Structure formats: C-alpha cells, structure tokens
Structure 1
Amino acid sequence: MRWVSMTYDHREHAGNAGDLWKHFLLSAAAAYLLSTSDHLVYAESHAGYPEYRLEPDGEWRWGIGRCWQLRSEVESPYFAVLEEMNGDQLLRYPGSAQIVLRLGRTLGRRVLAELWDISEDVGKSWRSCPGVHFHLGDGFSGVMKLLKISAPGLLLIDPPSPEDHDRAIDLLTEAENRGWSAMSWHIMDNVEFPECLDLHPLTFHDVGLEGGRWRGCIVAVSSGDVILRRRLRSCAERFRSTLRRLVAGQDVV
C-alpha cells in the first residue's frame, strides 16, 4: 500500500518552543532509562527526519534560540546532544529519535528504535542509521501492535493533529499497562487528561518563549517507574524556573 504524506512538515518548526520542552523531558527520561540497562527499546509513533537544518528565519529562534547561550546554566542531556552536533554555533537540530540514539552512543548503551511515519521521504532518511527499524504506515495502530510483542521500553507519541488526542491517550494507557514508560506531546488547548497521568505544562510567554498562535504545550507521562516520574517532575520544575529567571524579557537572538 502506498501511503500519502500529510501536508504537515516539521522542518518549518524544528527547535521551536514546543520542541524545546518535549526534547528536554524526552532526553531526561531516555538518559535515566539508559543508565539502568545495557539497552533500550525506543518507539515513536510519528517520527520526523533524523535532523533539521536551522534556517535564519525559523521558529527555532523563539525556542532553543532564546536559551542556547544560557545552556551552561542547565545541566541536561538535551543540551549535551545539541553541543555534540553543533559545537558553539547552533546550525542543526535533531529529531526526537536522533536524540535518544545519540544518548545511547554517548552512554555506551544499545538503542533499538522502532519508528513510524507515513512519509516515504522520512523513511528514506533513516535507511543508513544503525539500530533503526522504520515502518511506513499509521503509527497509532503500529505502536499498539508493538506494545503486545516487544519488551518494555520508552515510547514517544507526537500526534500530527490535536484531533488525535484521544488516540494518543489510549496509547499512553496501553503502554503503561504493558510496562512501558510513555510520553505524549500536546498543544495546550483546553484538552482533558486522565488523572493517572503526570502532566508537565509549559506556558510559553511565562518563560520568555514564543509559540505563534499556541499559548503553550503539555507533555503527558505514564510510567510504572516511580523514580522516573519523580525525576521528570523535578527536572521540569527546575527548567521552568531557570527559563523564567534567565530567558524571560530577553531579546530574540
């Protein structure tokens, strides 16, 4: 079957305020899980390209661009990955799976990545990447099947549309039931979540970031690992406080 790609293209948005929050928390979760085992199964329901070139007028200026020069103030595997890719000058931005794969290499751990997308071009971009199994197709149904046959790992759900909210929550719930740790990214748009989930909201303007027509985003987390959930809550609060202290009120770079 030939799948037709959606019009959404993340290349226009790479490194924006939503990516900043999502990838900060994803890297913290991945680094912790990689530190507890010699390998990690990583699944992503809607993968993008391995990396993106940051254009001079891109949305990244209002996200990672607002705090890049302040990265020494925040100890995070997220900034470590970006520095490894770029050095001092920020030119390239990693996709979510690339962040996890790079952390695995840095820590000497094996990452087995199961990625889904309906774009053939995205699939081609992952062909030469070791440890990656790319699936051309619907990520919601594909990941649901994977959860039933795979050893538990880390799952990222990044729905392409706010209309996919309920399907993302279903995956989060099933993942935790199967022993996985799962994260789902959502636009802050009057959506409801089950009480069992940990919610990590970020209102962009409050911390000196800009998100265009969106006022903020939420990363929802489900996991039976109490230590992981506690660590993510602590990391999220420290990062929010740092952004309020150092970024809010600055001019865009």
Structure 2
Amino acid sequence: MNYRHIYHAGNIGDVLKHVVLAAVIEYLKRKPAAFRVIDTHAGIGLYDLSSEEARKTGEWQGGIGRILAAAALMPGGVRPILAPWLRIVAEVNGIDTSSPSGDALPEMAAEALIAYPGSPEIARKLLRRQDRLTLTELHARDFKTLSGRYAGDFQTKVIELDGWLALGSFLPPKERRGVVLIDPSFEDTREFTKLAENLIKGWRRWESGTYIAWYPIKDMAAVRRFHKRLVESGLRNILAVSLSAGRPTADGVMKSSGLLIVNPPWTLEDDLKRALPWLASTLATGAGAGWELEKLVDE
C-alpha cells in the first residue's frame, strides 16, 4: 500500500466528504445518547500544506483554497451547512473560532492556510465527551503518525489494520448509534467491487448505522455498476451525491468524486440541495462542472 493522502489533502474530494461527514455528526449530536464514528482508512488526521508532498500537487488550492477565497460571498442559506467544517479548518490553523453564533464563519484568507484537517480530526473535534472514535490505518508510517497524534486520548482508539477488516470486526458498535466513513485509496482497479462487497457486509451486521462511502469519478461506467450492485443488494435508504469541478477524465488530476450514503439523516438531502450549487460554482474550472443528488433506494 503506497497511497498517502497528503498529496490530495483539501482537494475537491475532501470538500464533499468533509462537509457531509460534519453534517452527519452534527445531526447525531441532536440526541444525548452516545454514538461512535468509525473511520476505516484514516490517514494521519492532520496535513501540513507547506510540506513537499502537498506543494508538489497543490490540489488543496482547487478545493479548500477556493472555498476560503469565496467565503465572503457565501449565501446565508449555505453558511450553517458549511460552518461546522470550516470552523475546524480555521481552528487547526490557529484562527479564533469563539463566535457567539455557531453558524458564523471565522475570517480566514486562503493564503494563510498551512494545515488541513483529515476526517479523523474533523470527527474528533465534533465529538462530545460521551462519544467515541475508532480509527484504522494500514500504512505503517501513517499509522505511527496517527497513533502519536491521539496518544492518551481516551475517546479515540487507533488500530493498525486493513480498513476492510474493520467492517467485520467493529460492527455493530456498543453504542448502537453512529457513522462509518469508508474512504479507500482506489489504487486497485477492483476497489469498486471491494467497496460494494464490504459496504453490504457492514450493513448486514449493523443495518441502523449511517455509512458514508467515498469514490473518485473517472469512469462513469464503473460508478454505474457500483450503484447497480448496491441497489440490487437489498440495502435500503441510499443517497448518491457527486461534486465536479469539470468533466471527469480517466487520467490526470481528479475533478469529480462521489459519496454513497446509506441511512442519511433526514435533513441531509435538503441541506445538500442548498449547499451543492454554491460549492459547484465556486470550485468549477471548466466544462462539465456541477453536482448531482439522487435517492437510489428509498427507506
């Protein structure tokens, strides 16, 4: 396994994934009962955008960089949806987020961005004291960094493990409430098949959990086969969403990605209908930019 997310941190795929992850966690917090977040392909938690790896690709500039540059023009209806995520981005960059309003966006220039939070850090900062976080990471170097970051944190458990095994080992969690984020590297051409098989396996072990599965969009035929497999599997309540900066291509920088969400919060679809048009127009770089939202299977 050679994939390392530092090359892609903060890109358009992260924007979509982290907006949705934060929205799901905020919804879970509406009830006092504890929940668990399970991140199967966790990475290192926090990414240094001044590092050689991040500067080599500069993908964050087309993602979180564009969002911050346009934040002052963000419509009022979009702000409360993006605020939980953007406040964490500001916090890891040393910006004061102690606003009296939870929907207020901290002032932060894209040029001041030196770090970007991965999904573990976003989840951890959104947890309440009673909630728990389980992180699995197989890459030895990244596991060492991740485990060091959360050493001594009683709410966070870090395990050196193939993320696919987590779906069999940790479900259902004892809290019986929560969300599973599945964000594989897609280095393997069989990744869509593995994603479908393991998502189905996980759901059968814990049918009431929320699942967020991320995938790049380069081959639309592969995406359609993936969706078809899940529709035919018997899974219920499936929402598919995509965000594109331009027309997807098989080679080059990823311009489009998608999420398949099983058991989404009932509020999520309407939230995304408000946020996605602004995100798509802000991140657009050429023909084919846009967004899609489709309920693949009803409850």
TM tier relative to shorter chain: 0.7 to 0.9
- Within 2, Cα distance between the matches of 1:181 and 1:29? 8
Alignment of 1:1-253 (within 5 A): 6-55=1-50, 56=55, 58-72=58-72, 73=74, 74-75=79-80, 76=82, 77-86=84-93, 87=95, 88=108, 89-104=112-127, 108-125=128-145, 126-129=147-150, 130=153, 131-148=155-172, 150-152=174-176, 153-161=178-186, 163-177=190-204, 178=206, 179-188=208-217, 189-190=219-220, 191=223, 192-193=226-227, 194-195=230-231, 196=236, 197-205=238-246, 212-223=252-263, 228=265, 230-248=266-284
What secondary structure sits across from 1:29 in the alignment?
A: helix
Q: Specify the alignment match of 1:3 in structure 2.
A: none
- 1:220/1:12 Cα in 2 relative to 1: closer, same or farther (>3 Å)? same
3-state SS of the aligned residue for 1:217?
A: strand
CA apart distance, 1:35: 2.6
**Bigger radius of gyration, 1 or 2?**
2
Question: In structure 2, what is the Cα distance between the partners aligned to 1:246 and 1:128?
Answer: 33
**How many residues are matched?**
234
Structure 2: unaligned runs, 5 residues or longer: 96-107, 287-299
Give the gaps of 5 or more residues in structure 1: 1-5
TM-score, scaled relative to structure 1: 0.83
Aligned residues of 1:187 and 1:217 also touching (Cα < 8 A): yes
Q: Give the CA deviation at 1:245.
A: 4.6
Contact 2:245 2:283 in 1 (8 A): no
- 1:172·1:222 contact (CA, 8 Å) conserved in 2? no
How far did residue 128 of structure 1 move?
4.6
The two structures have a TM-score, normalised by structure 2, of 0.71
